Amino acid sequence: MNNIQKVLCVFTSFFLMIQIFAAFSTVVAASGPKIQFLNVPAYGSRIENLTGVILDGIAADYQIGVYIFVDGWRTKKVEKINNDGYWTCDITTQNNDWDATHIAVFLFTRDFDLPLLKNDKIIPTSLFDNALFYEEINRRPMRTR
């Protein structure tokens, strides 16, 4: 086997491993509850709420943790998750909240104790370790000419 054949063999093996891992990840990600976002307020919006729905689960079994980043991570409260899984969160309850550049949303079992963040520089690892679902949304100011 010459050097080109060896490189092709290694590349093909690596490519197959990536495909197998991606297929396994898709199956794992597809099972269990998740959140679909229905409205993500634009950067700078003071009147729109973050809204979504829990998919593939019974809403009463879960709670949602919402955190925004404005010079640090702040907790935002989801007041209620409806029986049909729909929920709303006002992410602009404090001054400058509309300038949040990141929104992190976690789905947990009802018995998880959500930590209160007040301008923390990082999100505690316990959130990631206990989350059934996690997604971070990045927002940036719109450019004007």
The pLDDT tens digits along the chain (145 residues) read: 666 555 444 444 444 344 444 443 333 345 789 999 999 999 999 999 999 999 999 999 999 999 999 999 999 999 899 999 999 999 999 999 999 999 999 999 999 999 999 999 999 999 999 999 999 999 988 766 5
Find, among 138, 88, 129, the residue nearest to 108 by Cα: 129
Residue 62 lies in a domain: yes
Token readout for 2 is 């010459």
Return the H-helix or E-strand segment holding 22: helix 3-30
Is 143 domain-assigned? Answer: no
Whether 86 maps to a domain, the answer reads yes
Strands (DSSP E) contained in the chain are 34-39, 50-55, 62-69, 73-76, 78-81, 86-89, 102-109, 118-120, 133-138
Residues 81 and 65 in one domain: yes
Whether 118 is in a domain gets the answer yes
* Same domain? 23 vs 50: no
In a domain, 78, yes or no: yes
- 38 shares its domain with 93: yes
Query: How far does the chain reach from its first CA to its final CA, in angstroms?
Result: 59
The reply to whether 39 and 94 lie within a common domain is yes
Nearest to 84 by CA among 51, 66, 60: 60
Same domain, 68 and 15: no
Identify the pLDDT of residue 4: 59
Q: Tell me: do 121 and 84 sit in the same domain.
A: yes
Residues near 24 by beta carbon (within 8 Å), at least 6 away in sequence: none
Q: What is the pTM of this model?
A: 0.76
Domain that holds residue 10: 1-31
Please check whether residues 10 and 66 belong to one and the same domain: no
Residues 6+ apart with CB under 8 A from 92: 41, 45, 46, 47, 98
Q: How far is CA 42 from the centre of its chain?
A: 16
pLDDT of amino acid 122? 97
Consecutive H or E run containing 12? helix 3-30
